[in-house]
């Protein structure tokens, strides 16, 4: 006798709509404002290190300190990073979603 078990996953419509909205928000925000390779590298380094300031980014990626600072400011203004009082940047929820979206759509 063959017994088959089914697994039912319950997903609410609000979960689906929320995910769609997040993807649309990311696409809308960056439509025409595609991040440079340098900016993407910075996001991935911060993902790996959890937080970093301009000096750490400069050292890790070989960018000048002024370039690292400028790129961090740009990413923060676009709400991909948040800044602590010590000047270190962390990925925001939007930054994490951007990297997830980018990683899944390369």
pLDDT tens-digit map of 80-94: 999 988 889 999 999
Say what percent of the chain tops pLDDT 90.
50
Q: Six-digit token pair at 1?
A: 């006798």
Query: What's the confidence (pLDDT) of residue 10?
Result: 54
Provide the 10 A C-beta neighbour count for residue 46. Answer: 25
The answer to the question of residue 2 being in a domain is: no
Q: Is residue 44 part of a domain?
A: yes
Asked whether the predicted pLDDT for residue 69 surpasses 60, the reply is yes
CATH code of the domain in which 76 resides: 1.10.10.10
In a domain, 23, yes or no: no
Inside any domain, residue 1: no
Q: What pTM value is reported for the model?
A: 0.70
The domain of 53 spans 36-104
Place of tokens 């993407």: 40
Tell me whether residue 71 is in a domain: yes
Q: What is the mean pLDDT of the chain?
A: 81
Burial of 75 (0-12, 13-18, 19+ CB in 10 A): buried
């Amino acid at each position: 006798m063959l017994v088959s078990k089914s697994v039912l996953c319950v997903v609410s419509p609000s979960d689906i709509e929320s995910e769609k909205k997040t993807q649309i928000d990311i696409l809308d925000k960056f439509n025409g404002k595609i991040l440079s390779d340098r900016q993407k590298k910075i996001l991935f380094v911060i993902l790996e290190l959890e937080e970093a300031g301009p000096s750490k980014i400069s050292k890790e990626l070989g960018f000048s300190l002024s370039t690292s600072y400028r790129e961090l400011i740009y990413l923060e203004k676009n709400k991909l990073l948040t800044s602590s009082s010590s000047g270190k940047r962390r990925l925001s929820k939007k930054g994490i979603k951007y990297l997830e979206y980018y990683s899944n759509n390369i």
